[in-house]
A and B are shown apart, each in its own frame.
Chain A
Amino acid sequence: MLARLSHLDRLEAEAVHIFREVAATFTKPVMLYSVGKDSAVLLHLAMKAFYPAKPPFPILHVDTTWKFREMIEFRDLMARKLGFDLLVHVNQDGVRDNINPFDHGSNTHTHVMKTLGLRQALDKYGFDAAFGGARRDEEKSRAKERIFSFRNAQHGWDPKNQRPEMWKIFNTRVNPGESIRVFPLSNWTELDIWQYILREDIPIVPLYFAKRRPVVERDGMLILRDDDRMKLRPGEVVENRLVRFRTLGCYPLTGAIDSDADTLEKIVGEMLTARTSERQGRLIDRDEAGSMEKKKREGYF
């Protein structure tokens, strides 16, 4: 009697297949790395897909300069440990104009530092395929996206005119300047991600685990004051609270949750009884209706 594949085995095989398909058919792929838990899984799968070789593409981090400090430390540690080729891109125009989430709002900050930054990096290196860790269960417009998602020469996504995607036969053909965003974790859910991290013992940024941290309550969110670029408003106080993060992004835009989950088991336990979705802690999805779709059409991941 032959073993039947478990749900996670199936998801793993699908992702590995996708990684190899890109390596076999594109001239210049890159893997986007955002340092979060999904990126951690993505990286782990990439290492598996090409074992005993290293992944035959570089890893790109688009740094908005507002990431948690612990994320940057973790990123550099992983690059040293796994020996991958790490590229870091910062939108220097944004730095020059001092674009930041406090003065310009989440919308402008994300557009300039993340979306434009990403487009600059893709153009600079001429990548024709870029892996991302997006999942279909995250958000409604992502639920509609193909695994191999075509982008025109301006990096735009046309949601009304996506290429059919039949079976596991992926159309990887692009004309010069065009590219494909590739999402190996399309069919994973948040629970699958945690379950897999637990099963494979994948290292993740410590911010996911509960710890006493200096947070400020602002606009209904708990913001970790990661450095003194965050000025306190009148009446705001920094409290040391036992918190952790469900998702990670730019620190001023990412809300912490009160939690005492300091092990993976406890995190998963907490997740299983959660009453809100993980993106609830993200300011950028809420700032206008259909905002994720709009960002994606402009070239955001």
Chain B
Amino acid sequence: MRLARIETPVFDPNHEAETVQDYLAQQERKSFLRFLTCGSVDDGKSTLIGRLLSDTRQIFEDQIAALESDSRKHGTTGDEIDYALLVDGLEAEREQGITIDVAYRFFSTAKRKFIVADTPGHEQYTRNMATGASTSDLAIVLVDARQGVLRQTRRHSIIASLLGIRHIVVAINKIDLVGFDQAVFDRISAEYAAFAGELGFRSTAFIPMSARYGDNVTKRSENTAWYSGPTLLEHLENVVVDDTETDKPFRFPVQYVNRPNLDFRGFAGTVASGSIRQGDAVVAAKSGKPSRIRRIVAQGGDLAEAVAGEAVTLVLEDEIEVSRGNMLVTPDSRPHVADQFSANIVWFDEKALLPGRTYILRTETDQVSATVTELKHKIDINDFGKEPARSLDMNEVAVCNLSTQAPLAFDSFADNRTTGAFILIDRISNNTVGAGMIIHPLRRADNIHWQSLDIGKKARADLKNQKPAVLWFTGLSGSGKSTIANLLERKLHAAGRHTYVLDGDNIRHALNRDLGFTDQDRVENIRRVAEVAKLMADAGLIVIVSFISPFRAERQMARELMAKDEFVEVFVDTPLEECVRRDPKGLYARALAGQIRNFTGLDSPYEAPENAEIHLHTVGKTPEEMVDAIEDWLTNDEIAERQYDDGGGI
């Protein structure tokens, strides 16, 4: 087996006119393109990249030797070189002959430098395809000429479009296997063009190709005489990807406040768009406070100007309040500042997105708790149809409304790929579970303001001579929550405390009567009761919440809703077998008979608390003993001491 080589200009040390410095200067002037390869499994993405690297002479001799021996061991191409093995770098990938995660490779030609992301085709690894697409300006969508446009072809095209990619190459690959037939090429091209019409691509090039044999990759194929367009490499070298970030309004997300001493306060960050000069007027986006640029600090001496893409440190004329997460912007064209907006969301996690659940939302430099308040609709991958949805599963795309705990400064993603994007992070696992592209702020965020009231929480609580608290009971159905809660309230009441018990069943009779027992409804059930508990604590009450509350994420949400030290989680820990045995309402019997679905502990999960303030093991104990245990804890706890420092005790 021999590797085909084409002649690309490389540095020639014997050539008199060319010094290393000249060569490097020329390298510096080259333009730059980041692209990805995507498409369905086995359409030849990795093979194409291997071919590109090999034909542009980016591969060293020792790597070729390794490739030849790997091809014999793991290759899927018989006696020939298996180029995919150049990029499938993980053991699992080589063993299974598939791509799991995105690989980044680098190559350059006389005209351009390239970073290419080779992304996986399997649906389960869509998140890795999105990772590669998020930093690319062009996508090569591979289509197997024998298969035509498949579901993953559509999914990847939609995701590329949503992530802001405006240039597409449709590589109709394995054209050798359909006898280099123009009719096949024309049919697939027409099919793709028809479906991609709505995706807003500025350029779409169709190229008949054989990545394995190199037809139309870097050299024109004699087998496709009917094709008069450019080869893939020619197209990649010449496609105009407008770099318009610098022409947009100035945006500078503040990343880090550099304050080595009292005399220096610099705002470090990367210019997201536009440009800035010394003396220019700016405002802090969130407060609207104005100032001017005094210095643009850099190690080698101050700069007169900074443009999009540069990482700089700005010093302002005035001491205005600016911290990480805020943005310095041009006063003439400001971003939105809002706590509600709509966005496209791509979901990555195996656990579905549930409206009402809080996630951590992160922009380039800001971070805030956020909830999807409404799933407007899912996007059907096949026909872009709008499908109603109550949750969003892995790899699905939807338009959502979101609400954040504090206002964000942002632009729409269509206007700015940097200031209009965010990710969602799971609060428990810290995994990145979704990516979002902001569409627009919601009007209602503009029209609703906080009314300030003269009587505060402290005044209300003082009148009752107590400190408010939320005692949150969680545990399986039949674990004894309600019994213990009831007894605890009686004792507190007798001691002159102002209390209220929010009981799961009671609340479902009225406020939450519209909710069922699916995961989505359970999340909303807890969200509402947590908000009610917060209002009651604000009214100065000691609130006892007795809800199964099966999910850690929602209990965490409730905890964070309350003031610090106000929330006490009480885990009423009764083993499932014991609950089944007690079965006070006969529910387990019916659930086990298949008459009730989504029953916690049986066919719906219960996530036990890991760090509850109070952990009650109920087996073999009386409710009175449980209440005593809670009282002991409260008396010993700092909260309780402060709570009852008037000597009231409980």
Q: A interface vs B, CB < 8 Å?
A: 2-10, 12-14, 16-17, 20-21, 23-24, 47-54, 136-137, 139-144, 146, 159-160, 162-169, 171, 173-175, 178, 186-187, 189, 191, 195, 198-199, 265-266, 268-269, 272-277, 280, 290, 293-294
Contacts and interface: CB of A to CB of B under 8 A. Distances in A.
A48 B432 CA distance: 30
B92 A159 contact: yes
Contact of B61 (A8, A48, A198, A276): A276
Interface string B74-102: 00000000000011111110100000111
A172 to B, nearest CB: 9
B30 A164 contact: no
B375 interface: no
24 contacts: A4-B246, A6-B28, A20-B256, A20-B268, A49-B268, A53-B264, A139-B89, A142-B89, A144-B89, A144-B101, A159-B92, A164-B435, A165-B131, A166-B421, A166-B423, A167-B364, A167-B418, A169-B421, A171-B425, A195-B27, A198-B24, A265-B19, A275-B61, A276-B62
Given A4-B243, A166-B130, A293 B324 contact: no
A64 to B, nearest CB: 24
A273 B20 contact: no
B90 A160 contact: yes
Contact of B60 (A187, A189, A191, A276): A276
Contacts of B19: 265
B231 interface: no
A276 to B, nearest CB: 5
Contacts of B135: 167-168
B333 interface: no
Given A13-B270, A169-B364, A159 B32 contact: no
Interface in B1-36: 10-13, 19-21, 23-24, 27-30, 32
Contacts, number: 199
A269 B309 contact: no
Contacts of A8: 28
Contacts of B360: 173
Given A51-B313, A144-B90, 18 more contacts: A3-B305, A5-B310, A6-B28, A10-B32, A50-B268, A51-B299, A52-B264, A137-B106, A143-B87, A144-B101, A144-B102, A159-B101, A163-B431, A167-B417, A187-B115, A265-B21, A268-B20, A273-B10
Interface in B125-145: 127-128, 130-131, 134-135
Contacts of A146: 131
B261 to A, nearest CB: 8
A164 B128 contact: yes
A265 B22 CA distance: 11
B91 A293 contact: yes
Given A276-B62, A290-B91, A269 B243 contact: no
B418 A168 contact: yes
A169 B24 contact: no
A160 B101 contact: yes
A51 B270 contact: no
Given A13-B309, A276-B61, A7 B27 contact: yes
A3 B20 CA distance: 24
Nearest to B310: A13
B275 interface: yes
B557 interface: no
Interface of B: 10-13, 19-21, 23-24, 27-30, 32, 60-63, 86-92, 94, 100-106, 113, 115, 127-128, 130-131, 134-135, 243, 246, 255-256, 258-260, 264, 266, 268-270, 275, 297-299, 305, 307, 309-311, 313, 324, 348, 360, 362-365, 417-418, 421-423, 425, 430-432, 435
A233 to B, nearest CB: 25
Contacts of A47: 299
Contacts of B102: 144
B89 A141 contact: yes
Nearest to A263: B20
A275 B60 contact: yes
A22 B10 CA distance: 38
Contact of A162 (B101, B134, B418): B101
B541 to A, nearest CB: 34
Contacts of B86: 140
Nearest to A136: B104
